[in-house]
Structure 1
Amino acid sequence: MTRAERLSALLELLVSAGRIEVEESAATFAVSAATIRRDLDYLADQQLLSRTHGGAVPNTTSYDLPLRYKSINHGEAKTRIAQAAVAMLWPGCTVSLNGGTTTVEVARAIPSAEPLHHGITVVTNAINIATELTVRPFIKIMVCGGVARPQSYELVGAMASETLSQLTPDICFLGATGLDPAAGITTHDEAEAAINRVMVRQAKRTVVVADSSKLGTIGFSRICHVHEVAAVLTDSDADPAMTATLRKAGIDVILA
């Protein structure tokens, strides 16, 4: 394992466990405690964590770690959600995707759907999604301008809003930090929320793609209210009481 790989793995461990211990990490990665201390000091200098005696903890922006450092929790659920999402598409349709681990999985599932090889247009403000799909000749990629957020690879700002407000995709698959019947669909960053709001408003139909851990969670900034989306696509581990509440509010809940 290279140092770069170890640094990424340490951040993944921090996100999933909430704390890093030097001695345990040294044993996990088969290196010396001194090596782990140097790694943690380096990551602290990059403001990606806070050092403690004997280890490290998330800093005040731990939720905002770059997407590439976040382990994909609920990976199987996200894969099932992605496959169900792609099954909703048809040749010649236009689909918009915001940033996030679940929407990335949706993007990755598109090339495996043979009917879509006749042509599909993907609109996104996520540069990592655009990069993954641009090599597929049957996919037309439309990317807005804007300021790139290194944490999520999403383009935000007035330029992004201006571009996206001129387009009307058939369907928007919306990733989110949380979904709560009262608080709505939320994310951690207000700039991302503003762009995602435009995507919801412009799409003919919006489907929230979120694994069951996101249901009942509330992020910092609201993207939209639940009644502004047509459906929620989640996994079969979703809390029955939560899905019942959403359905009572007129939201189509699809379990993958």
Structure 2
Amino acid sequence: MEPLTEVYILRTLDYRESSRLLFLYGKQGVQSALARGVKKLDAPHRHLAQTGHLVEVALSTSRLPTVKTMQRIELYQPLKQSLLAQTVSQVAQELIYYNTTDTDDHLKLFGFLKKWLKQLEHHAAHPFAPIELLLVFELKFFYLLGYGIRFTSCHVCGIDKPLYFEPKTAMVACADHVERLDEACDETQFALLKWALHLDVTTYTPKSTSFELLHPLMQLVNGLHSMFLGHVPKARTILQTLL
């Protein structure tokens, strides 16, 4: 019997009349699998084989693995009841699907993803928490892909205060080495970015009190997407219209 593997369903595509192609993410990275007959009304895995579910699967060893069995772990129902939280989760799905490679640390990223989803589920109904959690996910995702921003010291001289973050260069600099002080993040924004990167997500509690603080940070991270990854996730563009 094939062993069970814990995976998160990043996306699904209809395949022929009754089947569905699943794109799964787990400790080994992204892989595809065919769920035969899963669209039939009496299919045992019909309600499980959906985007955004955490499941255990047993796959065949064929060139295109086939789902043999599937068991529920988490369905994250509260996310489906909040358009904001659901869209935030879709940003994470896009980032992982389109930007990870075989050489990335999937063991660490998958572990972080599960902890992050648990917090997103818990705070799904909060007016600001999903946006804060998105910033946490994105900054840590950049870091795990090798685009970490060093918020602790100036990138030129190493001094640790006062520091400024320059969005156009994604660099942290002191007053002597910042290129455009008028374009750098203010103290509150800098503190929130630093907090988001270094946060232990299992200890998360909502921090912001309004979208006025979060909106410029969303714009700033949009620029980081373009700089580091070359594009902004479609779900993130949709998210901007919800704020």
Category of TM-score, reference length = shorter chain: 0.3 to 0.5
**TM-score, normalization by structure 1:** 0.31
**TM-score, normalization by structure 2:** 0.33
